[in-house]
C-alpha cells in the first residue's frame, strides 16, 4: 500500500533522514520504534506531506506522492494524527471532528461522526465541551477521531500513548486494533516499543535517521539488541 524508498529529509543543512525505506501492506499495523530524535516524526510528516523531502520516493497505492501537496494526500486516503495532538482547544469536540473532514465535499457529518462516537463513546458524551477541557486520553481519542473523519485508508499515528497512564495506553492501542479489524491500515510511531510491537504485524527500528532493524513484530520483540535498547530487558 505504502512504499517509502531511500527517503532523505533535512532541516536547513542538517539531514534528519539519511535514506529511509519502509513498507506498509494493506491491512497491516506497522510500528516504527526508536529513541528521541531518531527521525520518526520527520518520516511521518514526510509521508503526510508537511515535511519536505530532498531525495527518495513515496509511493501510495502505486502512485508516487512525494510531490503532492498534503491536502491532496489526505484526499487520496492518508491521514495523520500529529505528535502532541494539536487540537483546536477553544472549540468543541464535535467541531474538531468536523474539521477533520475539511478536505471532503458533500460530507454527511452524521454518517461520519457515528463510527467515531461508537469507537470512543466518551467523545459523544463530551461532544459540546471545548477540546481543551478534555483529559489527555480523551484528547488523544479526539485527535484520532479527527483523522478518521478524513476517511483514510492509511492512518499515520505519532506517539498516541505519550503522557498517558497505562490503562489509557491500553485503551488507545485497543482502539487501533479495532480500527485494523475494520480494514484500516496503520503506521504507528511509538517510543513505547513493547506496547507498539505487541499490536503490530511488523516493525522498523529507527536510529539517527536510519532503519537499523526490521521484521515481524514478534521477531523484533524477541531480538536481543532490540530488547536491550528499547525494551529495557
Ligand atoms: N523543526 C526542526 N528544526 C531542526 N531540527 C529538527 C526539527 N525537528 C526535528 N529536528 C531534528 O531532526 C531529528 C529527528 O527529529 P524527529 O522529531 O523526527 O525525531 P523523533 O524520532 O520523532 O523524536 P521524538 O521521539 O522525540 O518525537 C532530530 O535530530 C531533531 O533534533
Ligand atoms: Mg517524534
The cell numbers describing 177, all together, are 486494533
Percent of the chain with pLDDT over 70: 100
> Distance, CA 159 to ligand 2 centroid (Å)?
7
Q: In what order do the strands lie in the sheet with 63-64?
A: 14-24, 2-11, 55-60, 63-64
Mean pLDDT for 110-121 is 95
Lowest mean pLDDT among 97-106, 120-129, 134-143: 97-106
Beta bridge partners, 33, equal 190, 205
Ligand 1 binding pocket (C-beta < 6 A) is 11, 16, 34, 36-42, 83, 191
Indicate the number of domains in the chain.
1
> Distance, CA 59 to ligand 2 centroid (Å)?
22
φ, ψ of residue 111 to 5 degrees: the values are: -65, -30
Hey, whose CA ends up nearest to atom 14 of ligand 1? 39
Whether residue 106 has pLDDT greater than 90: no
d(CA 166, CA 197): 15
Hey, whose CA ends up nearest to atom 31 of ligand 1? 37
Q: What is the pLDDT of residues 22-41, one digit of tens each?
A: 999 999 999 999 999 999 99
The CATH number linked to 126 is: 3.40.50.300
Whether residue 232 has pLDDT greater than 80: no
Range of the domain at 64: 2-231
Ligand with an atom nearest the CA of residue 208: 1
Q: What is the pLDDT of residues 37-87, one digit of tens each?
A: 999 999 999 999 999 999 999 999 999 999 999 999 999 999 999 998 899
> Distance, CA 36 to ligand 2 centroid (Å)?
7
Residues in the chain, total: 233
φ, ψ of residue 165 to 5 degrees: the values are: -65, 155
Q: In what order do the strands lie in the sheet with 154-158?
A: 78-81, 154-158, 185-190, 29-33, 202-207, 210-216
Amino acid at each position: 500500500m505504502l512504499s517509502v524508498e531511500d527517503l532523505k529529509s533535512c532541516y536547513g543543512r542538517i539531514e534528519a533522514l539519511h535514506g529511509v525505506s519502509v513498507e506498509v501492506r494493506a491491512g497491516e499495523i506497522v510500528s516504527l520504534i526508536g529513541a528521541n530524535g531518531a527521525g520518526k516524526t520527520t518520516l511521518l510528516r514526510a509521508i503526510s506531506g508537511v515535511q519536505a523531502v530532498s531525495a527518495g520516493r513515496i509511493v501510495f497505492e502505486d502512485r508516487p506522492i512525494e510531490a503532492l501537496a498534503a491536502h491532496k494526500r489526505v484526499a487520496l486516503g492518508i491521514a495523520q494524527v500529529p505528535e502532541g495532538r494539536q487540537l483546536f482547544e477553544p472549540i468543541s469536540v464535535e467541531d474538531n471532528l468536523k474539521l477533520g473532514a475539511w478536505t471532503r465535499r458533500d460530507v454527511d457529518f452524521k454518517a461520519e461522526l457515528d463510527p467515531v462516537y461508537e469507537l470512543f463513546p466518551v467523545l459523544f458524551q463530551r461532544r459540546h465541551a471545548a477540546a481543551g477541557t478534555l483529559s489527555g486520553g480523551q484528547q488523544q481519542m479526539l485527535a484520532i477521531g479527527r483523522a478518521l473523519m478524513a476517511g483514510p485508508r492509511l492512518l499515520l499515528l505519532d506517539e498516541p500513548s505519550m503522557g498517558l497512564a497505562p490503562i489509557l495506553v491500553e485503551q488507545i492501542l485497543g482502539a487501533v486494533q479495532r480500527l485494523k479489524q475494520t480494514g484500516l491500515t496503520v503506521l504507528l510511531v511509538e517510543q513505547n516499543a513493547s506496547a507498539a510491537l505487541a499490536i503490530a504485524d511488523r516493525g522498523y527500528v529507527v536510529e539517527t535517521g536510519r532503519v537499523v532493524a526490521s521484521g515481524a513484530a514478534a521477531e523484533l520483540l524477541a531480538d536481543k539488541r532490540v530488547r536491550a535498547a528499547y525494551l529495557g530487558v
